[in-house]
Amino acid sequence: MTLKLARQGPSNQTGDPGAAMTRQLTAIIKRGRATCPADKRWQYGLPPRGNANFAWVQHMAHHLAPRGTAGFVLANGSMSSNQSGEGEIRKNLIEADLVDCMAALPGQLFYSTQIPACLWFLSRDRGGGKYRDRRGEVLFIDARKLGRMVDRTHRELTDDDIARIADTYHAWRGEPEAGEYADAPGFCKSATLEEVRKHGHVLTPGRYVGVEPQPDDGEPFAEKMARLTSQWREQQAEAQRLDAAIGANLARLGFGERGTE
């Protein structure tokens, strides 16, 4: 909310129950309004008025300690949007080597919105100080298939799902006792900065992690094609038989070709 106020200005609706808080927040952020291009937080580009995503990202980046890491949730559009200069801000953050990890979450996780979300992880300590040297790399995690439906409209990540995401990130960073990291097609990929550049600085994990390998059923390809072709021909013949039966029934009811003339 603070960032929206900084970028768009406070509401002047006196009937707003949050008006008092709005005025207090306005006093706090008055010197750092995003309407002022000189705001020192906007090092990587001036955020657009209509969307606070990259105001939040830059606010977090600005307040990172020299060896700090920040993780936060944003809408999926933040990973790929090129509107109103957002793509340029994202590019500058990537080229500054701040983006450590991106994780795409499944939909329907939140009760307040159905909008799919993602996790951003920024880090200044990527040069091998506390963990391994990760400069020039970004970890992508595609967790969209994880979770279980708890009711008709809401999904929940299980403890195992959360552990899988967290353990993958910890292992990739090289944390002690976190295990050895390895790319998992369809789930995670450690991409180089050059790969990210080739994708136009888009951070959508699905572009990088590839496709999950399908289990081999042991049936030779030639035999499978022969079986599927035979099955297709049988289905085609059955479709023709059903079409003829339906046509005959319609004709008896007076809705055949002659009955409709």
The answer on pLDDT for 128 being more than 90 is no
147-158 residue pLDDT tens: 999 998 899 999
75 vs 256, residue with greater confidence: 75
* Res 111: pLDDT: 87
Q: For all residues of the chain together, what is the average pLDDT? A: 85
205 and 258 share one domain: no
Q: Which CATH number fits the domain that encloses residue 175?
A: 3.40.50.150
143 and 233 share one domain: no
Question: Residue 22 is part of which domain span?
Answer: 1-39
User: Which of 218, 9, 135, 259 shows the shortest CA–CA distance to 1?
Assistant: 9
60 and 170 share one domain: yes
| Number of independent structural domains in the chain | 3
152 and 185 share one domain: yes
The answer on pLDDT for 22 being more than 50 is no
149 and 200 share one domain: yes
107 and 80 share one domain: yes
72 and 154 share one domain: yes
SS3 track for 151-213: CCCCEECCHHHHHHHHHHHHHHHCCCCCCCCCCECCCEEEEEHHHHHHCCCCCCCHHHHCCCC
104 and 6 share one domain: no
241 vs 29, residue with greater confidence: 241
70 and 93 share one domain: yes
- Tokens 């319609």 belong to residue: 250
204 and 79 share one domain: yes
126 and 195 share one domain: yes
194-239 residue pLDDT tens: 999 999 999 999 999 998 777 777 778 888 899 999 999 999 999 9
**Do 23 and 59 form a contact (C-beta atoms < 8 A)?**
no
Q: CB neighbours (10 Å) of residue 82?
A: 13
The answer on pLDDT for 25 being more than 80 is no
174 and 75 share one domain: yes
